[in-house]
Structure formats: C-alpha cells, structure tokens
Amino acid sequence: MTFLIVAAHPDDEVLGAGATMYKLAQEGHSVNVCLSGNVNARSYCSDPEEIDKEVNSAMRILGVERVFQGNFPNIQFNTVPHLKLVQFIEKAIVETNAQVIFTHHPADLNNDHLHTSLACQAAVRLFQRRTDVTPIKELLFMEVSSATDWGLNKGMNQFTPNTYIEVGEAGMDKKLEALAQYCGVMRNYPHPRSVEALKGLAAYRGGQAGMVYAEAFESAFRRGL
C-alpha cells in the first residue's frame, strides 16, 4: 500500500501522523510526504538549508521514501491561487501512486492548514478525470496539536475522530525523536507540543479505542471495504 501525508509546513506531518508513518514504514508500506509551504514567518526557525536538513533527518527516522517540498508563503496560503496548490498536490499523488492520503482537518486554526486541506480534497479527485491515475482508497484528516485543538470556529464541523491506529511506545518514541529534529517546535509542558502533552494525547486516543498509544484520524472519504 502507498501512503501520502499532505501537510502545510515541516513538522505538521510528524505532529499529525508521525507515529503512524513509522508504523506503516516498518510494515513495509511506501510512506511519502508532501509539504506545501515554507516556515519563513517563524521567529525561531532555522534558515532554509537547515530546515531541509531537519526535514531529511526527521523523515529518515520515520522511514519516509520521498518528500515533495513546495515553497508557498508561510501563513499566506490564502494569497496563493487555489489551482497552484491543487496541482502541486496532484503531482505528488501521481508520482507516488498514492492510495491512502492524510491531510489537515479543514477546521484547523492555522490558515495554511485550511487551504492545504481544501486543495488536497480537490486533488484526490484526479483519478476521476484521468484513467492513468491510481484511484485513492481513503482520505483521512489528522489532528495537529496547537492547531486542530484550537479550531474555535463553531461554524465549521470540528475534528471528530473515527479511525484509530495503534502506534505503541516504539511509535511514540520515534515520533518524538523526529519532532526533536525540528528547531523550536517542541515546547515545555503544558504547551500542546510538549512531550508530556503529546504522549498524553496518544494515551487518551489509545484509551478511547482500547489501544496502547494511538493516533486518531477522521476518515472523510473511503472507497470499498
């Protein structure tokens, strides 16, 4: 099976599905990542060359095969033509033959997450227009700590998990190790991007489904059994 994680910024992919990515790679699946934008608006981030190194290091830890990196402007995806975002994601879908895709929940607080989600939702329909494109089996929304949990707009449906993937202690350790590669992403407790909060969330999601640590997702579209 081929998986593609479509995220707005470096670190989002690990926060939302890092332990799952590691588990899938260990099971022999092809795991790939599409990162749409840069992080130039962050005051604490590394320079572009260092960020590339951080991405590569984090992806090696998780067993990711390919990374597609865009350079859309940080916290300005609303200024980017929708078609450009869609086509960037479509390229990653085509080149990886992605069958299962993870992306942001559209109610996330972060504006770039919203536009990435909307573009990804459009991009996954590509197989309906092109017979040479592998049909997707499933589209899932992931939860990104400090963004999904701050989706305060009650006019939008909030993240409602209905799919749980057990990742175990080994998966959580790899997720935290991968996050540690990104400069300034992790914070001290009680910040939602602290070690304690991330492990607590995984323990809570696991408890909901009778699992030892889990990452939770909302399955938005599924074809077949």
pLDDT in tens, 49-74: 888 999 999 999 999 999 999 999 99
What is this structure's pTM? Answer: 0.96
Are 71 and 40 in contact by the 8 Å Cβ rule? The answer is no
- For the chain, the domains span 2-222
Which DSSP symbol is given to 64?
Answer: -
**So what's the pLDDT on residue 44?**
65
The continuous run of DSSP H or E covering 25 comes out as helix 12-26
Burial of 197 (0-12, 13-18, 19+ CB in 10 A): middle
The CATH fold assigned to 2-222 is Rossmann fold (3.40.50)
Are 85 and 116 in contact by the 8 Å Cβ rule? The answer is yes
Decide if pLDDT at 183 tops 70. yes
User: Crossing angle for the helix pair 168-179 and 48-62, nearest 10 degrees?
Assistant: 170
